[in-house]
A and B are shown apart, each in its own frame.
Chain A
């Protein structure tokens, strides 16, 4: 595997379910990100981790819970979601401690549908 991988690629869940999204980067990077991509809206940064420490939480509701056990893996735990949470969730990584010039490398995303 190369680059940034995400599993699953598609997920359908009910509002009472608990599920997790997984992201893995094979680039030796130290910063990882979760973004939400909804139709006709800009990409929304959700969380940033630098060297496994959360450095950004963009006012994300607590029904989204991130976890970064090491620099290569990032999870997004989901529980009691709402239909408006349906979107494409993108993971990204970048090198170093995460400076503002770093190129971010994106995974293909998980298409989430909340019924």
Chain B
């Protein structure tokens, strides 16, 4: 069975600082990996996804994530945090060859301090 673990339910950074949100997955087959963001009172929005090919994936709003098979990780980073990045971030995994079923982590709430 697949699963996703997000370390740190709350992360606080200063404006301009590096953002690092951690995601580890468990999957017996090559996974597809996703990061979604949820702003207050809104639904989830895709930031980026890894399917095949280049392991460093660039997304919207300056975010990127790197698929590391040996570490079973897909951490999300952004070099310089903006106040507008304050939101909840969800990592998700789906299984290659399977139907459209996403398994989500519990989410990380990012706070950005001025």
Specify whether A and B are partners: yes
How many of chain B's residues have a CB under 8 angstroms from any CB in A?
27
- Judge whether B67 is part of the interface by a CB distance below 8 angstroms: no
Given that A43-B104, A90-B43, A108-B43 are contacting pairs, would A101 and B51 also be in contact in the complex, using a CB cutoff of 8 Å? yes
How many of chain A's residues have a CB under 8 angstroms from any CB in B?
27
In the complex, 15 of the A-B residue pairs with CB atoms within 8 angstroms, ordered by the A residue number, are: A33-B100, A40-B9, A42-B106, A43-B44, A50-B100, A90-B43, A100-B94, A100-B98, A100-B100, A100-B101, A101-B94, A104-B44, A106-B43, A108-B41, A109-B43
- Residues of A at the B interface (CB closer than 8 Å) are 4, 31, 33, 40-43, 45, 48, 50, 55-56, 90, 92, 94, 98-109
- Residues of B at the A interface (CB closer than 8 Å) are 4, 9, 32, 36, 41-46, 49, 51, 90, 94-107
